[in-house]
């Protein structure tokens, strides 16, 4: 049976940066949508981020960064200054030929450009727009900027993350970028479905703050009943024990073990060879193990320390005890399970000429953790800056070569960074820092 690309025929104009929107549009691009990334030559924070081939920014550093390559694969690049009247005019002509416009600017930016939903809907009534920023387009915080790290704190996630008796800790450097991006992809798919059913467009107003609060839903329910959970580190907050991360042989090697029932505890004892400490009658029940969990953790940590984390995981899994080695990124790249399932994909080096050939999290060339065997998906390399200028302006808008040359001369259309950027290339180890 011929494979189909689910979103073929959908065109998205993306005024995007960093990850929370670029990751979402990359997922749709893998599924066949035509995503045209609108880039400005003086706002290249995304392209200034490594890792670089050979760990050193090259002569075309703006086309080489691995972070940009990952979040912007399968897209097209149009380097257009929409802040100019002519640039805005060309953008609006593209809107007439498109289905979706997305951005993650601060609240008010699209309005100042005359590119907000109401303005676009006046010329194309069925347009779908998505704006995702830190706090949404309404409310007292609407003009505040942020990064994923500060949203981690403000949404309450950091307050429940940390070791017992210790301070609040961050979940990760960009946890809310990931969760927000997946929410955005879901929202856009719902809007496409709605449009296909009704013929009507939609305005989508997404907030990283509210996405973050979704991740601590149980804490919101508990506090309304007077229950305030203390930070417990890797332990379970209620009754599961043993439920923690335990050291194994090697430097900074660990294994996670989770026991939820008396049956699982019996299987864990069998896997350990029925040691005397584990046969203590106080540990035979769920309440008993919970009451004596710290003592239990000390004994279990001693047992796990006599094997490496992968061997211990296999031993416990063979006894049907939920356990997982704490993998590093380098170990994931070598994991035989992911290899056999074809999850780690590479863009051929002849295609990824600037960013280099890397292995990506993705199956059948698409960043998704599930199988869709009859649906074609393909991960293509991220675009060079302005790579598709000619294709878009000539192919879609019908501009002549002379008109395009004039736009380049006026600085409205470019395919290279500004002089300021060229004069200050990024340094090895530089990262992303744009605020939303």
Query: pLDDT of 289-321, one tens digit each?
Result: 999 999 999 999 999 999 999 999 999 999 999
At residue 24, does pLDDT exceed 50?
yes
At 433 the pLDDT is: 45
At 374 the pLDDT is: 58
pLDDT in tens, 343-354: 887 776 666 666
At residue 365, does pLDDT exceed 50?
no
CA distance 422 to 185: 34
pLDDT in tens, 133-167: 999 999 999 988 887 778 888 888 888 888 888 89
At 171 the pLDDT is: 72
Least confident piece of the model among 215-224, 319-328, 368-377 = 368-377
CA torsion angle for 243, 224, 206, 25 (degrees, to 10)? 10
Residue 360 DSSP code: E
Provide the pLDDT confidence category of residue 25 given band limits of 50, 70 and 90.
very high
Q: Is 243 exposed, middle or buried, given 0-12, 13-18 or 19+ CB atoms closer than 10 A?
A: buried
At 373 the pLDDT is: 57
At 176 the pLDDT is: 84
Domains of the chain, start order: 11-215+344-423 (3.40.50.10540), 254-325 (3.30.1540.10)
At 4 the pLDDT is: 64
At residue 241, does pLDDT exceed 70?
yes
pLDDT in tens, 171-192: 777 788 888 999 999 999 999 9
Residue 370 DSSP code: S
At 377 the pLDDT is: 60
The whole model's pTM is what? 0.87
The residue among 233 and 117 whose pLDDT is bigger is: 117
CA distance 245 to 250: 15
CA distance 285 to 294: 15
DSSP H helices in 109-174? 109-113, 117-123, 148-154
Provide the pLDDT confidence category of residue 114 given band limits of 50, 70 and 90.
very high
The sign one gets for the Cα dihedral 131, 136, 137, 143 is: negative
pLDDT in tens, 378-422: 678 889 999 999 999 999 999 999 999 999 999 999 988 888 888
């Amino acid at each position: 049976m011929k494979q189909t690309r689910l979103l073929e025929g959908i065109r998205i104009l993306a005024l995007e940066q960093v990850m929370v929107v670029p990751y979402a549009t990359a997922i749709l691009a893998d599924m066949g949508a035509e995503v045209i990334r609108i880039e400005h030559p003086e706002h290249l924070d995304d392209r200034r981020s490594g890792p670089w081939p050979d760990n050193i920014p090259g002569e075309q550093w703006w086309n080489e960064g691995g972070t940009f390559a990952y979040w912007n694969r399968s897209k097209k690049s149009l380097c257009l200054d929409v802040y100019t009247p002519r640039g805005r005019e060309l953008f609006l002509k593209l809107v007439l030929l498109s289905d979706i416009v997305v951005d993650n600017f601060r609240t008010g930016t699209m309005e100042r450009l005359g590119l907000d939903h109401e303005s676009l809907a006046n010329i194309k009534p069925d347009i779908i727009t998505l704006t995702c920023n830190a706090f949404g387009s309404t409310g007292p915080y609407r003009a505040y900027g942020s990064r994923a790290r500060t949203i981690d704190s403000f949404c309450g996630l950091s307050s429940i993350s940390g070791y017992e008796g210790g301070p609040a800790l961050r979940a990760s450097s960009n946890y809310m970028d990931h969760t927000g991006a997946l929410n955005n992809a879901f929202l856009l798919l719902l809007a496409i479905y709605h449009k296909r059913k009704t013929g009507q467009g939609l305005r989508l107003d997404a907030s990283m703050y509210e996405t973050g609060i979704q991740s601590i839903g149980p804490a919101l329910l508990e506090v309304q009943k007077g229950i305030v959970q203390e930070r417990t580190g890797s332990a379970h907050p209620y009754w599961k024990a043993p439920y923690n991360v335990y050291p194994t042989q090697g430097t900074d090697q660990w294994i996670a073990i989770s026991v939820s029932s008396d049956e699982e505890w019996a299987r864990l004892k069998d896997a350990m060879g029925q040691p005397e400490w584990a046969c203590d009658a106080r540990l035979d029940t769920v309440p008993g193990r919970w009451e004596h969990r710290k003592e239990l953790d000390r004994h279990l940590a001693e047992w796990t320390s006599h094997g490496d984390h992968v061997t211990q995981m296999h031993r416990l899994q063979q006894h049907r005890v939920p356990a997982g080695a704490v993998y590093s990124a380098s170990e994931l790249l070598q994991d035989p399970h992911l290899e056999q399932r074809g999850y780690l994909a590479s863009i051929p080096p002849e295609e990824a000429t600037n960013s280099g050939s890397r292995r990506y999290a993705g199956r059948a060339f698409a960043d998704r953790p599930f199988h869709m065997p009859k649906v074609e998906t393909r991960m293509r390399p991220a675009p060079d800056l302005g790579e598709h200028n000619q294709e878009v302006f000539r192919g879609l808008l019908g501009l002549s070569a002379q008109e395009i040359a004039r736009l380049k001369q006026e600085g409205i259309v470019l395919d290279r960074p500004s002089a300021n950027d060229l004069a200050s290339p990024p340094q090895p180890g530089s990262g992303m820092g744009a605020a939303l």
